[in-house]
Every structure is written in structure tokens, then in C-alpha cells.
A = this chain, B = another copy of it.
Amino acid sequence: MKLIDKNSRIPLYLQLMDILIDRMENELGENGQLPSEREICEHYDVSRTTVRQAINELERDGFIYKVHGKGTFVAPKRVEQNLIKFYSFTEEMKKLGKVPVSKVFSFDIIEADRKIAEKLSLPAGSRVYQFSRLRLADNIPMMFETSFVPYDLFPGMTKEDLESTALYDIFKNRFQTTIVMAEELFMPVMTGVKEMELLQMSPSIPSLRIERFTHGEDRLIEYTNTIARGDKFKYHVRLEN
């Protein structure tokens, strides 16, 4: 068993984090319960402050989560999303052996306001679909998306279509529309109250906001604003020199 080395130059809380990560991986497993702060203090002979600092860092890094009145638990591992080629939530979750589900929360045909029209390079007032979807993997809510799609390119799409078929399959199979590439913009955000409820998140966890601009052969065919749970994903890029 690893022990704290009080003569080391490595701060005690970092040593403790390292030990706890080791135990979580090898002994406790996903959703396993951590010992109490007091037990950790006694077991490793460190101060309450050190334990709190280690626990706070672990929570912040998404290794653990707290359940009010119950204790502290090992967070399930994050899904690693490669940002190297075009991906769809449905396909990515299937690759991981998870069952993807989309719940369509709203589905409307609207006139694009200036902001949305600009995002899709359309004249303001153009007809667009606006739909919101909650995406789940193995029944766990993972992200909440609001999408805007030009109506004229994909006439006659219904809420039922979206509930039964992946959006990109509708584009490809029903409308013979090829996706050339997508651009995405990422930024960390505080999770809004609505998204926190829908995604069943604890309040201290931020999200990643992802804007996706999907390009067809000669036009933008989708603008989606996604709130992805900050504790469920990590994103991977490869930067060639």
C-alpha cells in the first residue's frame, strides 16, 4: 500500500490525491463509496485541511462526486471524444457499446431571428427548424442540444422522424445531402438551471458549450448549440507541428 511521505517535497494533498486515485481505480471502482474525511485523516495520518484539499481537487477534476447526506463516490470515467474527424453522438456511443437515446423536447418551424440567421448564413426571417434534444447513453443524460436547420433543404421533416432516426441519417438517406465537414467552437460555461435539471447534474459542475456548424456541399445545413456535461466528457485533439 502507498503511504504519505512527510519528508517529500510533493505537497501532502497531492500525495493523498495520488493515493486516493490509486484506490479508486484498483479497489473501489465506478460509483464505489470513498471512506469519510475522518477515516482518511486517521488512516493516512494527515490533517483535515489536507484531506479537504485533496477531496476538493478530486471533485473539481471530476474523479469523484458527492451525494448530499450519503457521501462521496467514484465518478464513472469520462467518455473521450476525438476531435479529429466528423462524429455523431449516436455513432460514438454505439462504438463504446452504450445505448444512445434522443428525447426530442421541442420541435418547431420558426422564422430565424438575426442571430440564428447569421449563424446559418441565411437572410433573417428564413424558415428554419428549431429542435431541442436530450441525448442519453445507457439512460444517463449526457448533453442537451438545440439545433437549427434550414427548412428549404429538408422540407417535411417531423418530430417523429427525429425520434426514430439519427439526424445525419435523415440528411443522407432521405435528402441525399452529403456532409462535407463541421466546425466546432468550444467554451466552458456555468451550467444553467434548466440544463442542470435536464442533465441531472450537481450544481458545482460546469459544462462545455459546443457550437457546431455543419457544412453541406455548398451551404450550411446545421447550427447546433450543445451543453455537454463537464463531468462526462473529455475532448482529444492532435496538433501536428
Q: Which residues of A contact B (CB under 8 A)?
A: 9-10, 14-15, 18, 21-22, 56-57, 60-62, 78, 80, 83-87, 108, 110, 113-115, 178-190, 192, 204-209, 230, 233-241
A183 to chain B, nearest CB (A): 5
Set of chain B residues within 8 Å of A180, measured between Cβ atoms: 240-241
Q: Identify A192's interface contact among B14, B57, B108, CB under 8 A.
A: B57
Task: For residue A64, give the distance in angstroms from its CB to the closest CB of chain B.
Answer: 13
A190's partner among B60, B78, B186 (CB-CB below 8 A) is B60
Interface SS of A by simple majority? mixed
Shortest beta-carbon distance, A240 to chain B, in Å? 5
Chain B residue nearest to A232 (CB atoms) is B187
Interfacial chain B residues near A239, Cβ < 8 Å = 83-87, 181-184
Q: Which of A78, A110, A115 has the most CB of B within 10 A?
A: A115
Residues of chain B contacted by A84 (CB below 8 angstroms): 239
Q: Is the CB of B187 within 8 A of A60?
A: no
Q: Which residue from B18, B61, B188 sits with its C-beta under 8 Å from A208?
A: B188
Given the known A-B contacts A110-B9, A240-B181, A241-B179, are A115 and B21 also in contact in the complex, defined by CB atoms under 8 Å?
yes
Cα distance, A60 to B193, chains bound together (Å): 11
B237 with A186: CB separation less than 8 A: yes
